[in-house]
Chain A
Amino acid sequence: MEIYWVLGIPLVGGIFLALWGSRGNAPEINAFFSLLTLIAASILTARIVADGPMIVGGEGWFFIDSFNVFLVTLTAFVAFTTSLFSRPYMRIEKEHSRLNDKRLRLYHSSYQIFIGAMLLALTTNNMGILWVSMEAATLATVLLVSLYRTPASLEAAWKYFILCGVGIAQALFGTILLYFAAEKVLGSGGTALLWTHLNEVKGQLEPTVLQLAFVFLLVGYGTKVGLAPLHNWLPDAHAEGPTPVSAVLSGLLLNVALYAVMRSKVLVDGALGNDLAGNLMMGFGLLSVVLAAFLIKRQTDVKRMFAYSSIEHMGLVTFAFGMGGPVASFAGLLHMTMHSLTKSAIFFAVGHATQSAGTQLMAGIRGLIKTNPTIGWGLMLGTVAILGVPPFGVFASEFLIITTAMHEHAWATPFLLTALGVAFASIFGKVQPMVFGETELPRLPYQPALTPVFMHLALVLMLGLFIPPYLADWYRQAAALLGG
């Protein structure tokens, strides 16, 4: 039952906000709907923790197990904090007349629809619907990326649409192939694409077809994960869209896309009985990590730089999942969580920093610690956290990933370490003057919404120091589902 709430609230919210328009309290309503979603998701999670996996609705339309419920909670949580952050942020944007009422209405409505689409993608049991909702999530965000209507933002949105559209078309072909293989075993009809059914018979699926299907699915959904060499849309979309959109794209959408890849991988592993899928993922993952790390060095735009850092981290997670096994999968899941929390916190801080400086160029942002100490500290701590400095949680997950890599795929460790080192040096070197440099910039005239930033960072710190046993159990279960 909770599942319907989880999916229904954002949908109703989206429609309501479209009708309500951008009256004064629309940001609060947006946050309120997000809060409701979070509550529903928490109840759902509690249910799953207590009762184990469940299949709901009709012929089994929804399927929730430890793996996706953890992502559902994460999604609902980050969606809520982002809506808190966007409240003051969007008001300022409006005051700077970068946005008007019409666009704010579009923003709020699309935001809810976007969250709803992601939640549907996570909870659906049908691989076809998974595709449909991934595409819906893309469509909901295209107009958000171009919200400012600047030439650059339109270009970014166009790139986003076309590249992700092409990518997702590949994924559709992969899904068709999957159905083709499934139909032979399960018979035709709506149930042949249900993941739970497929999972039961995965050993009987035709290996050659699934092999091809996985390549298409990986390339397709991988485009949305931002895996190199199909990552071109990602930095543009992140840099040109409004900051709350960058935060949810980076923190959530990439995860959901990777979730889709993982669901496919489980099936393919069962059918093929070899490491092909894992190896492919490791290859793409490693390439993304290395490429992104070296591209970070050249960035001048702060949001672009952190977008590349997202590519790097998603590459790392993909690599970890590709290695497989209980430890690596555990580390991958943990890193996914840490990255979502930290990266969205960073984007919140960056959003305020760029607003106060009036530019996204890093050269123009200086001495935050003097003008806006809280923003400065938020950005600094977030950066330190994402770079994997202990005791933050990112350190724990990166440490696990690298030690596993040393054991099982020693050849990859030099690449990983070099890439992480390069990323560390370039990001730290660029953020440091932004926070501590000399400046004449004025203070922000309003109270920045930094509660979400510190909330996220506190969670990351806590998980770095101590993972509660039930949470660890939960990750372990999820890791086991991924074939660990």
Chain B
Amino acid sequence: MTLSLTYHLQVINLLAALLLLISFAMLSQRRIVGLITLFAWQGAALSASTAIVAWSTGQHHLYYSAALTLVLKVIAMPWFFYRLVKKLDVDRDVEPMINIPTTMLIGIVLVIFAFNLAMPISQMSGTVMRSTLGIAMATVLLAFLMMITRSKAIPQVIGFLAMENGLFFAATSATYGMPLVVEMGVALDVLVGVFVLGIFFFQIRETFDSLDLKHMEKLKEK
């Protein structure tokens, strides 16, 4: 490992830590607009780290995924969500279902769990950034937690997309990314998914006059 590589690695590690930090910030964020901004930042950190990996290891296909992330998750989707929030006029405080400190505590437990789970796998990996696999898994779990604890539609979807960010990061850290066609396919799915959801939000809003999913608790097993 050359010296320059270790510097890249340091920056990647820093970005990875940032990714985790943003995940936690998302957990504690009460406003939807703030959440969207954080999501954009998370995408930016992901894109930057992917680009640095591409540069330092010569894995050129990673440039494409970095660019894809940049376009989709830093520009297109946040823009789309901002517009949606404005149009639907839903930017009010979102009280999560569990209070935030408790959520954060659960989050810490999840992080420890993820780090432990990733440890044996990352030791087998040959990539320079293998140790960040734990962070990727933690990001996935934290996003999952966010989906569970939020009752509004948009935060849930942002949680879902953040989970996808974590998975992307996992792929990059464990194996320098998936084969390009798969990554393209995943990106396409995500894009289509977001648009489908956009339509869906309007439908929900039209029907329930709100994007609060608490209205949607009719279908339950009695």
Question: Using a CB–CB distance below 8 Å, which chain A residues touch chain B?
Answer: 126, 128-129, 131-133, 135-136, 139, 142-143, 146, 149-152, 154-159, 161-162, 165-166, 169, 172-173, 175-177, 179-180, 183-184, 188-190, 192-193, 206, 208-209, 212, 236, 240, 295, 298
Contacts and interface: CB of A to CB of B under 8 A. Distances in A.
A146 B203 contact: yes
B76 interface: no
A143 B221 CA distance: 23
Contact of A128 (B163, B181, B197): B181
Contacts of B163: 166, 169
Interface in B101-154: 117, 120-121, 124-126, 140, 144, 147, 153
Contacts of B170: 173, 176
Chain B interface size, under 10 / 10 to 19 / 20 to 34 / 35 or more = 35 or more
Interface in B178-196: 178-182, 185-186, 188-189, 192-193, 196
Contact of B219 (A133, A146, A155, A184): A155
A129 B200 CA distance: 26
**A contact face: mostly helix, strand, loop, or mixed:** helix
A131 B181 CA distance: 12
B14 interface: no
Interface stretch (B4-12, B16-24, B46-54, B208-216): B208-216
A174 to B, nearest CB: 10
A139 B179 contact: no
Interface of B: 117, 120-121, 124-126, 140, 144, 147, 153, 156, 160, 163-164, 167, 170-171, 174-176, 178-182, 185-186, 188-189, 192-193, 196-197, 199-200, 203-204, 206-208, 213, 215-219, 221-222
25 contacts: A128-B178, A128-B179, A128-B181, A128-B186, A131-B186, A151-B207, A151-B218, A154-B207, A154-B208, A157-B200, A158-B204, A161-B197, A162-B147, A165-B160, A166-B160, A169-B163, A175-B178, A177-B121, A177-B174, A179-B179, A188-B179, A190-B180, A212-B117, A236-B219, A240-B219
A413 B21 CA distance: 50
A139 B192 contact: yes
B160 A176 contact: no
Nearest to B148: A166
